[in-house]
Amino acid sequence: MNFEFRAIYWREMLKFFRFKSVLFSSLIQPVMWLAFFGLAMSDSFDKLTSLVPNEAGVPVVDYLSYMGAGIIAMDVLFSSLFGGTTLMFDKKFSLLRETLASPVPRFHIILGIGLSGVTKAFIQTFIIIGFGKLIGMDFFEGFTLAQTITAILGIMLLVAVFTLGFLFLSGSIAITIENPEGMQSILTLLSMPLFFISNALYPIESFPDILKLLSMFNPLTLLADGIRYFALGTNFSVMGNHYVYTTADIAFSFMGLIFFALTMLSAAMWRFNKVDI
Protein backbone atom coordinates (compact mmCIF):
# COMPACT_ATOMS: atom_id res chain seq x y z
CA MET A 1 0.00 0.00 0.00
CA ASN A 2 1.33 3.42 -0.91
CA PHE A 3 1.53 6.14 1.71
CA GLU A 4 2.53 9.15 -0.39
CA PHE A 5 0.05 11.28 1.56
CA ARG A 6 2.50 11.21 4.48
CA ALA A 7 4.82 13.63 2.68
CA ILE A 8 1.97 16.10 2.23
CA TYR A 9 0.90 15.58 5.84
CA TRP A 10 4.38 16.19 7.27
CA ARG A 11 4.90 19.24 5.10
CA GLU A 12 1.69 20.80 6.43
CA MET A 13 2.56 19.95 10.03
CA LEU A 14 6.09 21.34 9.68
CA LYS A 15 4.61 24.57 8.32
CA PHE A 16 2.22 24.69 11.26
CA PHE A 17 4.95 24.33 13.89
CA ARG A 18 7.62 26.43 12.16
CA PHE A 19 5.46 29.48 11.48
CA LYS A 20 5.32 30.75 15.04
CA SER A 21 2.67 33.38 14.36
CA VAL A 22 0.31 30.78 12.88
CA LEU A 23 1.05 28.33 15.68
CA PHE A 24 0.54 30.94 18.40
CA SER A 25 -2.70 32.30 16.96
CA SER A 26 -4.12 28.79 16.40
CA LEU A 27 -3.41 27.75 19.99
CA ILE A 28 -4.32 30.98 21.77
CA GLN A 29 -7.52 31.79 19.85
CA PRO A 30 -9.71 29.08 21.48
CA VAL A 31 -8.38 30.07 24.91
CA MET A 32 -9.29 33.71 24.25
CA TRP A 33 -12.81 32.73 23.16
CA LEU A 34 -13.37 30.88 26.42
CA ALA A 35 -11.55 33.34 28.66
CA PHE A 36 -13.22 36.50 27.38
CA PHE A 37 -16.39 35.72 25.48
CA GLY A 38 -17.19 32.55 27.41
CA LEU A 39 -16.85 33.87 30.93
CA ALA A 40 -18.55 37.19 30.14
CA MET A 41 -21.49 35.61 28.36
CA SER A 42 -21.90 32.77 30.85
CA ASP A 43 -22.22 35.16 33.78
CA SER A 44 -24.79 37.24 31.90
CA PHE A 45 -26.88 34.26 30.77
CA ASP A 46 -26.71 32.53 34.16
CA LYS A 47 -28.04 35.67 35.86
CA LEU A 48 -30.80 36.12 33.30
CA THR A 49 -31.93 32.51 33.58
CA SER A 50 -31.42 32.04 37.33
CA LEU A 51 -35.17 32.52 37.93
CA VAL A 52 -36.25 30.21 35.09
CA PRO A 53 -37.70 27.02 36.60
CA ASN A 54 -36.07 23.72 35.72
CA GLU A 55 -37.65 20.27 35.79
CA ALA A 56 -37.25 18.45 39.09
CA GLY A 57 -34.59 15.77 39.08
CA VAL A 58 -32.94 16.97 35.86
CA PRO A 59 -29.26 17.95 36.20
CA VAL A 60 -28.72 21.65 35.47
CA VAL A 61 -25.75 22.65 33.29
CA ASP A 62 -24.40 26.19 33.34
CA TYR A 63 -24.12 28.21 30.15
CA LEU A 64 -20.30 28.04 30.07
CA SER A 65 -20.44 24.25 29.78
CA TYR A 66 -23.19 24.40 27.14
CA MET A 67 -21.24 26.98 25.17
CA GLY A 68 -17.95 25.08 25.53
CA ALA A 69 -19.18 22.46 23.06
CA GLY A 70 -20.13 25.24 20.66
CA ILE A 71 -16.72 26.89 21.04
CA ILE A 72 -15.06 23.62 20.01
CA ALA A 73 -17.37 23.31 17.00
CA MET A 74 -16.91 26.96 16.02
CA ASP A 75 -13.12 26.87 16.33
CA VAL A 76 -12.87 23.68 14.29
CA LEU A 77 -15.19 25.19 11.66
CA PHE A 78 -13.08 28.30 11.10
CA SER A 79 -9.73 26.49 11.18
CA SER A 80 -10.87 23.80 8.72
CA LEU A 81 -12.63 26.22 6.38
CA PHE A 82 -9.50 28.33 6.02
CA GLY A 83 -7.20 25.29 6.05
CA GLY A 84 -7.62 24.78 2.32
CA THR A 85 -5.99 28.10 1.52
CA THR A 86 -2.65 26.31 1.47
CA LEU A 87 -3.67 24.83 -1.91
CA MET A 88 -4.42 28.25 -3.33
CA PHE A 89 -1.00 29.57 -2.35
CA ASP A 90 0.66 26.41 -3.68
CA LYS A 91 -1.13 27.03 -6.96
CA LYS A 92 -0.18 30.71 -6.97
CA PHE A 93 3.53 29.98 -6.45
CA SER A 94 3.59 26.97 -8.82
CA LEU A 95 4.26 24.47 -6.02
CA LEU A 96 1.03 22.64 -6.81
CA ARG A 97 2.16 22.13 -10.40
CA GLU A 98 5.25 20.25 -9.19
CA THR A 99 3.15 18.18 -6.77
CA LEU A 100 0.63 17.24 -9.46
CA ALA A 101 3.45 16.34 -11.84
CA SER A 102 4.92 13.93 -9.27
CA PRO A 103 3.81 10.28 -8.93
CA VAL A 104 1.73 11.22 -5.87
CA PRO A 105 -1.96 10.41 -6.59
CA ARG A 106 -4.21 13.42 -6.41
CA PHE A 107 -6.34 11.77 -3.76
CA HIS A 108 -3.26 11.53 -1.55
CA ILE A 109 -2.72 15.29 -1.82
CA ILE A 110 -6.24 15.90 -0.53
CA LEU A 111 -5.89 13.20 2.12
CA GLY A 112 -2.57 14.55 3.42
CA ILE A 113 -3.95 18.05 3.79
CA GLY A 114 -7.12 16.69 5.38
CA LEU A 115 -5.28 14.60 7.96
CA SER A 116 -3.02 17.52 8.88
CA GLY A 117 -6.15 19.60 9.47
CA VAL A 118 -7.57 16.84 11.68
CA THR A 119 -4.38 16.81 13.76
CA LYS A 120 -4.56 20.58 14.26
CA ALA A 121 -8.24 20.30 15.19
CA PHE A 122 -7.40 17.65 17.80
CA ILE A 123 -4.78 19.93 19.35
CA GLN A 124 -7.23 22.84 19.51
CA THR A 125 -9.98 20.63 20.95
CA PHE A 126 -7.75 19.34 23.75
CA ILE A 127 -6.71 22.91 24.55
CA ILE A 128 -10.34 24.04 24.82
CA ILE A 129 -11.32 21.08 27.00
CA GLY A 130 -8.27 21.44 29.26
CA PHE A 131 -8.56 25.20 29.68
CA GLY A 132 -12.33 24.95 30.01
CA LYS A 133 -11.99 22.54 32.92
CA LEU A 134 -9.64 25.02 34.61
CA ILE A 135 -12.19 27.84 34.46
CA GLY A 136 -15.15 25.75 35.57
CA MET A 137 -16.55 24.02 32.50
CA ASP A 138 -18.46 20.92 33.65
CA PHE A 139 -17.38 18.51 30.94
CA PHE A 140 -17.41 14.81 31.99
CA GLU A 141 -18.92 15.70 35.40
CA GLY A 142 -19.55 12.50 37.37
CA PHE A 143 -18.03 10.30 34.64
CA THR A 144 -15.83 7.33 35.49
CA LEU A 145 -12.38 7.11 33.91
CA ALA A 146 -13.64 4.63 31.31
CA GLN A 147 -16.63 6.84 30.50
CA THR A 148 -14.38 9.89 30.17
CA ILE A 149 -12.01 8.10 27.77
CA THR A 150 -14.97 6.85 25.71
CA ALA A 151 -16.45 10.35 25.63
CA ILE A 152 -13.17 11.91 24.49
CA LEU A 153 -12.80 9.30 21.74
CA GLY A 154 -16.38 10.02 20.61
CA ILE A 155 -15.70 13.76 20.50
CA MET A 156 -12.47 13.25 18.54
CA LEU A 157 -14.23 11.04 15.99
CA LEU A 158 -16.91 13.67 15.44
CA VAL A 159 -14.31 16.43 15.17
CA ALA A 160 -12.28 14.39 12.67
CA VAL A 161 -15.20 13.73 10.32
CA PHE A 162 -16.40 17.35 10.58
CA THR A 163 -12.91 18.72 9.90
CA LEU A 164 -12.37 16.50 6.87
CA GLY A 165 -15.69 17.60 5.37
CA PHE A 166 -14.90 21.30 5.60
CA LEU A 167 -11.28 20.87 4.53
CA PHE A 168 -12.45 19.04 1.41
CA LEU A 169 -14.91 21.87 0.77
CA SER A 170 -12.22 24.48 1.36
CA GLY A 171 -9.79 22.61 -0.90
CA SER A 172 -12.25 22.42 -3.78
CA ILE A 173 -12.84 26.18 -3.50
CA ALA A 174 -9.11 26.89 -3.25
CA ILE A 175 -8.34 24.95 -6.39
CA THR A 176 -10.96 26.97 -8.27
CA ILE A 177 -10.41 30.54 -7.00
CA GLU A 178 -7.50 32.54 -8.38
CA ASN A 179 -6.92 35.15 -5.67
CA PRO A 180 -6.87 35.21 -1.84
CA GLU A 181 -9.41 38.03 -1.62
CA GLY A 182 -12.00 36.06 -3.56
CA MET A 183 -11.52 32.96 -1.45
CA GLN A 184 -11.71 34.90 1.79
CA SER A 185 -14.98 36.47 0.68
CA ILE A 186 -16.49 33.10 -0.20
CA LEU A 187 -15.38 31.47 3.04
CA THR A 188 -16.71 34.37 5.10
CA LEU A 189 -20.00 34.16 3.21
CA LEU A 190 -20.20 30.44 4.02
CA SER A 191 -19.12 30.64 7.65
CA MET A 192 -21.57 33.29 8.83
CA PRO A 193 -24.83 31.39 8.03
CA LEU A 194 -23.31 28.14 9.31
CA PHE A 195 -22.38 29.83 12.57
CA PHE A 196 -25.54 31.81 13.25
CA ILE A 197 -28.02 29.15 12.07
CA SER A 198 -26.72 26.62 14.58
CA ASN A 199 -26.94 25.83 18.26
CA ALA A 200 -23.25 26.45 18.84
CA LEU A 201 -23.76 29.34 21.28
CA TYR A 202 -27.49 29.41 21.99
CA PRO A 203 -30.47 27.02 21.88
CA ILE A 204 -32.51 26.89 18.68
CA GLU A 205 -35.88 26.26 20.33
CA SER A 206 -36.95 29.89 19.76
CA PHE A 207 -35.84 29.98 16.12
CA PRO A 208 -38.46 30.48 13.38
CA ASP A 209 -39.53 27.12 11.96
CA ILE A 210 -37.57 27.50 8.72
CA LEU A 211 -34.34 28.39 10.57
CA LYS A 212 -34.94 25.56 13.04
CA LEU A 213 -35.22 23.10 10.14
CA LEU A 214 -32.04 24.44 8.51
CA SER A 215 -30.23 24.26 11.82
CA MET A 216 -31.14 20.59 12.28
CA PHE A 217 -29.17 19.72 9.12
CA ASN A 218 -26.37 22.21 9.74
CA PRO A 219 -23.06 20.29 10.22
CA LEU A 220 -22.13 22.73 12.99
CA THR A 221 -25.30 21.81 14.92
CA LEU A 222 -24.64 18.10 14.37
CA LEU A 223 -21.13 18.47 15.79
CA ALA A 224 -22.23 20.59 18.77
CA ASP A 225 -25.00 18.10 19.61
CA GLY A 226 -22.56 15.21 19.47
CA ILE A 227 -20.04 16.95 21.71
CA ARG A 228 -22.74 17.78 24.27
CA TYR A 229 -23.93 14.17 24.24
CA PHE A 230 -20.45 12.88 25.05
CA ALA A 231 -19.32 15.70 27.37
CA LEU A 232 -22.50 16.63 29.27
CA GLY A 233 -24.56 13.45 29.21
CA THR A 234 -27.86 12.36 27.75
CA ASN A 235 -30.20 14.25 30.07
CA PHE A 236 -29.65 17.81 31.30
CA SER A 237 -31.24 21.24 31.49
CA VAL A 238 -29.73 24.59 30.51
CA MET A 239 -31.35 28.02 30.43
CA GLY A 240 -34.74 26.44 31.12
CA ASN A 241 -34.49 24.04 28.18
CA HIS A 242 -34.53 20.31 28.82
CA TYR A 243 -32.29 18.23 26.54
CA VAL A 244 -32.53 14.47 26.15
CA TYR A 245 -30.11 12.86 23.69
CA THR A 246 -30.70 9.31 22.53
CA THR A 247 -28.48 6.88 20.65
CA ALA A 248 -30.58 7.58 17.55
CA ASP A 249 -29.84 11.32 17.85
CA ILE A 250 -26.10 10.75 17.95
CA ALA A 251 -26.27 8.19 15.16
CA PHE A 252 -28.03 10.86 13.10
CA SER A 253 -25.22 13.33 13.88
CA PHE A 254 -22.54 10.80 12.90
CA MET A 255 -24.27 9.76 9.70
CA GLY A 256 -25.03 13.36 8.76
CA LEU A 257 -21.38 14.38 9.19
CA ILE A 258 -20.14 11.31 7.31
CA PHE A 259 -22.53 12.04 4.43
CA PHE A 260 -21.32 15.66 4.38
CA ALA A 261 -17.64 14.62 4.41
CA LEU A 262 -18.11 12.08 1.59
CA THR A 263 -20.04 14.62 -0.50
CA MET A 264 -17.29 17.22 -0.05
CA LEU A 265 -14.63 14.59 -0.84
CA SER A 266 -16.43 13.82 -4.11
CA ALA A 267 -16.54 17.53 -4.95
CA ALA A 268 -12.85 17.95 -4.13
CA MET A 269 -11.83 14.95 -6.22
CA TRP A 270 -13.92 16.21 -9.13
CA ARG A 271 -12.21 19.60 -8.98
CA PHE A 272 -8.73 18.08 -8.63
CA ASN A 273 -9.27 15.78 -11.59
CA LYS A 274 -10.43 18.75 -13.68
CA VAL A 275 -7.70 21.16 -12.63
CA ASP A 276 -5.02 22.06 -15.17
CA ILE A 277 -2.11 23.93 -13.63
The vertex-77 CA angle with 227 and 241, nearest 5°, equals 40
Residue 225 is predicted with a pLDDT of 93
How do residues 1-38 score in pLDDT, each as one tens digit?
Answer: 466 778 888 888 888 788 777 777 777 877 887 877 77
Residue 59 is predicted with a pLDDT of 83
* 81, 166 contact by CB (below 8 A): yes
- pTM for the full predicted model: 0.88
Residue 53 is predicted with a pLDDT of 67
**Number of CB atoms found within 10 A of residue 55's CB:** 10
Residue 29 is predicted with a pLDDT of 79
Instruction: Kindly report the backbone phi and psi dihedral angles of residue 235, in degrees, each rounded to the nearest multiple of 5, phi listed first.
Output: -145, 110
Residue 275 is predicted with a pLDDT of 67
Element (H, E) at 68: helix 63-81
**Number of CB atoms found within 10 A of residue 189's CB:** 9
- Report d(CA 121, CA 133) in Å as an integer: 18
Total count of domains within the chain: 1
Residue 94 is predicted with a pLDDT of 66
End-to-end, the C-alpha distance of the chain in Å comes to 28
All residue ranges of the chain with pLDDT < 70 are 1-3, 46-54, 56, 93-96, 101, 275-277
Question: Which residues span the domain enclosing 124?
Answer: 5-274
Residue 208 is predicted with a pLDDT of 87
Residue 219 is predicted with a pLDDT of 94
Please count the residues of the chain: 277
- Report d(CA 13, CA 92) in Å as an integer: 20
Residue 6 is predicted with a pLDDT of 81
